[in-house]
Chain A
Amino acid sequence: MATVSDHMTPGIGQVAVDAPLTAADGTPLRKKLAQANRRARLRATLLVAPLLLFVLITFIVPIGQMLVRSFHEPTFSEVLPRTTEALKQWDGADLPDEAVFAAFADDLKDAKENRTIGQVATRVNYAYAGSRSAFTSAARKSTGFEAPYKEALIAADDVWGERDLWAVMKRASKSYTPEFYLAAVDRTTDVDGNIVMVDDFRQIYVKILLRTLYLAGVITGLCLLLGYPVAFLLASLPTRTSNLLMILVLLPFWTSLLVRTTAWIALLQSQGIINDVLVAMWLIDDDSRLQMIYNQTGTIIAMTHILLPFSILPLFSVMKTIPPTYMRAARSLGATPWTAFWKIYVPQTVPGIAAGVLLVFILAVGYYITPALVGGQDGQLISNFIALHMQKTLNWSMAAALGGILLATIMVLYWLFNKIVGIDRLKLG
């Protein structure tokens, strides 16, 4: 097939105007070529298809489905369907009318029966703190309520006479909501629907997002600073020596993340090796041991160590291709060592720097394990808060919204990486 296409030069194309070239079976060559191309495309596609399908089902769909949760939260409308319907008629100006209360009282009876009231209570409680018990106790008393329900409910608990609570309920009754993304940037909607900042003592996510970017930046900077000289040395040493030293870079790369994190705990903790050495050398007092772990310092040190090979390896593979003669030529033309390095060498390593920096930054922004184990309180990153909402507070929509923001950040960086470096040029080992 490739031979045929090689012969399809313009010259032959002109001949074809007069007498179309045909293959042995009489079909025109052009058609035959198209068929062959289609077959080749099909064959390539068939080879890729099983994996693509596998990745779509086991990986892409689950993440997509999770992201839907960040703006779709149907608990309220599922547990209290009649109330949801009735609230649609309410203009929000004053307390809802008897119809809404009656629908609510009906729904409460079902919710009590199915023991689902807690789910709604939790949902509304996110936005209206302290309303939990009003829901659970109303459900408990629901069988005793009689018309007029408005009076009955307000008599049971004053909070049912609050317009604000009903406004929050109306908002919660809508299954599609931006509220989790708003919360992920420390904003909320007040009872009148305006977007406002949350209370001071609740503002946390913007800080965490900025901290994540800041720490990832610091770690990336350190990795470049430490990785560049090592890569330079490895690239300029004779192969035999550099292969040996390369082991020192590759071994950490192949060693379990948890092993390395454990090792840093042993080294850095206040009863750990580094502190012991410092105390033994009389550099610090036994009572004033340094706190190097369970805080930001711990996160930075351990993550720099873990990600350093990811900056050395791309730098090394680029530096390897730079002929040493360039530097020598610059020197013989009168450049000082520094000028030769800065003006001639460094510009040629820019692709390696870009690859290393982007790779380390992408990995650092989404890191979870190491900050969780050695980060203490102020060394926690955005991933740790996703885990917190997944496992502790169970505000799954919030976890999804934070995940959505993190994923968007990563996607931009990934796109940049593809644009600048090209993912297919990534090398391992």
Chain B
Amino acid sequence: MKTVLKSTVMAAAAFGLFAGASASADDLTVVSWGGAYTKSQVEAYQKPWMAKTGHNIRSEDYNGGIAEIKAQVEAGNVTWDIVDVELSDAVRACDEGLVIPIDPAELPAAPDGTPAVDDFIPGTLSECAVATIVWSTIYSYDASKIEGDKPTTIGDFFDTEKFPGKRGMRKSPKANLEFALLADGVPAGDIYEILASPEGVERAFKKLDTIKDSVVWWEAGAQPPQLLADGEVLMTTAYNGRIFNAAAGEDKPFEIVWDGQVWDIDLWVILEGAPNKDLAMDFLKFSTSTQALADQAKWISYGPARKSSAPLVGLYQDGKTEMGPQMPTAPANMKNAVQNNFEFWADHQDELNERFNAWLAG
């Protein structure tokens, strides 16, 4: 037994060495949304940055929201350095002191010398966050599964009589309430005004009620293309870049319906108490430069947040697909579009989440 014990302890110690060997304390931890989107960031930002600085990056996935950030900061156990968040979450995290303020003057200027403050699209710089992309929540369907008339409007998504079958939706009130009101006939410009009143919220949930039994809920951005491919749903809401990559990169017969798209921006934030704050800042400056932002558009159909990057955007990595028309901001796609109102969501997130969860469980 003694020998058994001894050898187990030795084995455990050996495992310990191996387990510890691969991670080092000064690796930068970059957290993003996983799948095709993280891949685009790895190709456009992380690989060049690692090559330039010689530092290592640990890439981690999450599903949005400030919950994990807050848990880390408030429990005093920060392991993430820099995180890709939505605007409303960036604003909230900033208010709650979870992320550090970032001075836009420190950001690199455009190649022609325009300071960053003027180069970024208005509204994409915030007190604690710097935007990288414009993205959108759209809905998509598998063209090979629908015969005859194809869905073209947001109303069709809610029409289970005309298009019988399951629907995929993100397990969050965000964007879903907007879709519901748009489908119920509210003009894009009035969405948030209506949603701010109790009657408006009531109306949106009533509309969601009509398809509740057909909905398959997803959480990770990688799930919707999967749900479509597996035939688990007929149509699903999704982030436009994921669908584009599945269609252009993997030849899936997925079509995007731009009508009623809800677009938003994604931004970098650096956590208060981040273990590698300086490296994170360096990475942030590097990845929000004109060239890096333009490079990212080669890998996924999200629009760069700098004006100076737009002319540099060319073809998809397959070398033939023009990226311009695939962007949420392309004029043809913007006809009936809603811009996510970050102030509304920062203020109402809590009660709408609570209500949404009660509604789901009921």
Residue in B94, B347, B355 whose beta carbon sits within 8 Å of that of A202 in the complex: B355
Residue in B67, B96, B232, B357 whose beta carbon sits within 8 Å of that of A115 in the complex: B96
Cβ-based interface call for B65 (8 A): yes
The answer on a CB contact under 8 Å between A133 and B347 is: yes
Q: How far is the CB of A143 from chain B (nearest CB, A)?
A: 15
Cβ-based interface call for A321 (8 A): no
Cβ-based interface call for B106 (8 A): no
Bound CA–CA A385/B71 (angstroms):
17
Residue in A132, A390, A392, A393 whose beta carbon sits within 8 Å of that of B347 in the complex: A132
Residues of B that sit less than 8 Å from A by CB: 65-68, 70-71, 92, 94-98, 205, 216-217, 230-232, 343, 346-348, 350-351, 353-355, 357-362
A residues 74-122 touching B (CB-CB < 8 Å): 114-119, 121-122
Cβ-based interface call for A262 (8 A): no
The answer on a CB contact under 8 Å between B95 and A115 is: yes
Bound CA–CA A126/B346 (angstroms):
14
Given contacts A115-B96, A132-B350, contact A378 B71 (CB under 8 A): no
Contacts of A207 in B (CB 8 A): 361-362
Cβ-based interface call for A220 (8 A): no
The answer on a CB contact under 8 Å between B96 and A118 is: yes
The answer on a CB contact under 8 Å between A116 and B357 is: no
Cβ-based interface call for A394 (8 A): yes
Contacts of B67 in A (CB 8 A): 391-394
Given contacts A118-B92, A204-B357, A204-B362, contact A394 B71 (CB under 8 A): yes
Bound CA–CA A137/B355 (angstroms):
25
The answer on a CB contact under 8 Å between B357 and A271 is: no
7 contacts between A and B (CB under 8 A): A115-B95, A122-B96, A136-B346, A202-B354, A204-B362, A271-B230, A393-B357
Contacts of A393 in B (CB 8 A): 67, 350, 353-354, 357
Contacts of B94 in A (CB 8 A): 115, 118
Bound CA–CA A122/B205 (angstroms):
24
Q: How far is the CB of B304 from chain A (nearest CB, A)?
A: 30
Bound CA–CA A118/B348 (angstroms):
13
The answer on a CB contact under 8 Å between B361 and A208 is: yes
Bound CA–CA A136/B127 (angstroms):
14
The answer on a CB contact under 8 Å between B232 and A271 is: yes
Contacts of A122 in B (CB 8 A): 96, 350
Residue in B97, B232, B343 whose beta carbon sits within 8 Å of that of A118 in the complex: B97
The answer on a CB contact under 8 Å between A377 and B350 is: no
- CB within 8 Å: A-B pair count: 83
Cβ-based interface call for A297 (8 A): no
The answer on a CB contact under 8 Å between A391 and B71 is: yes
The answer on a CB contact under 8 Å between A271 and B70 is: no
Cβ-based interface call for A130 (8 A): yes
Contacts of B361 in A (CB 8 A): 204, 207-208, 377-378, 380, 385
Residues of A that sit less than 8 Å from B by CB: 114-119, 121-122, 125-126, 129-130, 132-133, 136, 139, 201-204, 207-208, 269-271, 294, 377-378, 380, 385, 388, 390-394
Q: How far is the CB of B3 from chain A (nearest CB, A)?
A: 24
Residue with the highest number of chain A CB atoms closer than 10 Å, among B230, B347, B360: B347
Contacts of B360 in A (CB 8 A): 377
Bound CA–CA A393/B356 (angstroms):
12
The answer on a CB contact under 8 Å between B96 and A129 is: no
The answer on a CB contact under 8 Å between B358 and A377 is: no
Q: How far is the CB of A267 from chain B (nearest CB, A)?
A: 15
Chain A's closest residue to B201 (CB) is A201
Chain B's closest residue to A208 (CB) is B361
Contacts of B216 in A (CB 8 A): 294
The answer on a CB contact under 8 Å between A204 and B95 is: no
Chain B's closest residue to A199 (CB) is B355
Contacts of B68 in A (CB 8 A): 391
Q: A208-B361, A393-B353 are in contact. List 11 more A-B contacts (CB 8 A).
A: A115-B95, A116-B96, A130-B351, A132-B348, A270-B232, A271-B232, A377-B217, A378-B361, A392-B67, A393-B67, A394-B66
Residue in A132, A202, A385 whose beta carbon sits within 8 Å of that of B346 in the complex: A132
Contacts of B71 in A (CB 8 A): 390-391, 394
Residue with the highest number of chain A CB atoms closer than 10 Å, among B66, B217, B350: B350
Contacts of B357 in A (CB 8 A): 204, 388, 393
Chain A's closest residue to B215 (CB) is A377
The answer on a CB contact under 8 Å between B362 and A130 is: no
Chain A's closest residue to B94 (CB) is A115
Q: How far is the CB of A252 from chain B (nearest CB, A)?
A: 27
Contacts of B95 in A (CB 8 A): 115, 117-118, 121, 136, 139
The answer on a CB contact under 8 Å between B347 and A130 is: yes
Given contacts A204-B358, A204-B362, A380-B361, contact A133 B343 (CB under 8 A): yes
Bound CA–CA A388/B172 (angstroms):
12
Chain A's closest residue to B97 (CB) is A115
Contacts of A116 in B (CB 8 A): 96-97
Residue with the highest number of chain B CB atoms closer than 10 Å, among A133, A208, A380: A133
Residue with the highest number of chain A CB atoms closer than 10 Å, among B71, B92, B358, B362: B358
Chain B's closest residue to A121 (CB) is B95
Chain B's closest residue to A116 (CB) is B97
Bound CA–CA A119/B95 (angstroms):
8
Contacts of B231 in A (CB 8 A): 271
Q: How far is the CB of B101 from chain A (nearest CB, A)?
A: 8
Chain A's closest residue to B63 (CB) is A392
Bound CA–CA A390/B92 (angstroms):
18
Q: How far is the CB of B105 from chain A (nearest CB, A)?
A: 20
Residue with the highest number of chain A CB atoms closer than 10 Å, among B96, B217, B343: B96
Q: Nearest 9 A-B pairs (CB), nearest first?
A: A118-B96, A115-B97, A118-B95, A204-B358, A129-B351, A133-B347, A132-B347, A377-B360, A136-B95
The answer on a CB contact under 8 Å between A201 and B96 is: no
Bound CA–CA A271/B166 (angstroms):
13
Given contacts A201-B359, A394-B70, contact A114 B343 (CB under 8 A): no
Q: How far is the CB of B162 from chain A (nearest CB, A)?
A: 16
Q: How far is the CB of A295 from chain B (nearest CB, A)?
A: 10
Q: How far is the CB of B150 from chain A (nearest CB, A)?
A: 19
Contacts of A380 in B (CB 8 A): 361
Q: How far is the CB of B308 from chain A (nearest CB, A)?
A: 31
Bound CA–CA A207/B68 (angstroms):
28
Contacts of A139 in B (CB 8 A): 95
